[in-house]
C-alpha cells in the first residue's frame, strides 16, 4: 500500500475486510493476516477463483467458502478435494469417474440390500452400515496415506 500502512495495523484500527480488499490488499496478504476465503466472500469482495488460488488458499478453505468440486477439479489433485471434505456424491456430480475417485482414495462398498431395507430406505440398520463403512474406509485411506500398513492399499 502506498501510504505505508500495514494490513494488520489497519485491521486493528477497525477497517473492515471489504475496506481492506478495496484498498488494494491482495488475497494472499489478507490470508496471511488471518482472513479466510469464506470471510472475503461474505464481505462481498469479488475475487476470482484464480486470485484466491494465487493467494494460497487450500482446497479445504475454498470448499468452506462454498466452491464446488466442479470448480476446483483440475485445479487441485482429487486427493486434496477428498481431504477437503467433498463427498463421493459431490465428486460424481462434478463429473469425476469412479476410477479417478478410487485413485484419489475413495472407497466403494457393495452390499446387497434385504427386501425390508429396499422398502424402508431410512432404516437405522442401513444408516449404521453406511456410517461404519465410511468410517472404516476413511481410517484405511488415512493409514494408506501415512504409509502405515492398512487393510486396504490404494494406488495414488
- At 126-144, the pLDDT tens digits run 444 444 444 445 444 444 4
Query: Rg of the Cα trace of the chain?
Result: 21
Give the count of domains, the chain: 1
Residue 145 lies in a domain: yes
Find the length of the chain.
Answer: 156
* Domain span at 120: 107-156
- Burial string for 120-153 (b: 16+ CB within 10 Å, else e) reads eeeeeebeeeeeeeeeebeebbebbeeeeeeeee
Residue 8 lies in a domain: no
The gap from C-alpha 97 to its chain's centroid, in whole angstroms, comes to 18
Residue 121 lies in a domain: yes
Residue 78 lies in a domain: no
pLDDT in tens, 44-102: 999 999 999 999 999 999 999 999 999 999 999 999 999 999 999 999 999 999 889 98
Amino acid at each position: 500500500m502506498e501510504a505505508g500502512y500495514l494490513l494488520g495495523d489497519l485491521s486493528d484500527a477497525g477497517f473492515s475486510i471489504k475496506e481492506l480488499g478495496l484498498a488494494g490488499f491482495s488475497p494472499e496478504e489478507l490470508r496471511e493476516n488471518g482472513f479466510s476465503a469464506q470471510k472475503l466472500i461474505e464481505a462481498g469482495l469479488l475475487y476470482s477463483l484464480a486470485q484466491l488460488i494465487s493467494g494460497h488458499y487450500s482446497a479445504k478453505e475454498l470448499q468452506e467458502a462454498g466452491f464446488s468440486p466442479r470448480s476446483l477439479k483440475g485445479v487441485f489433485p482429487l486427493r486434496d478435494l477428498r481431504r477437503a471434505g467433498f463427498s463421493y456424491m459431490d465428486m460424481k456430480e462434478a463429473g469425476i469417474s469412479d476410477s479417478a475417485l478410487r485413485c484419489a482414495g475413495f472407497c466403494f462398498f457393495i452390499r446387497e440390500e434385504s427386501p425390508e431395507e429396499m422398502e424402508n430406505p431410512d432404516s437405522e440398520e442401513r444408516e449404521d452400515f453406511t456410517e461404519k463403512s465410511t468410517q472404516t474406509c476413511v481410517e484405511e485411506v488415512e493409514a494408506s496415506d501415512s504409509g502405515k500398513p492398512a487393510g486396504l492399499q490404494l494406488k495414488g
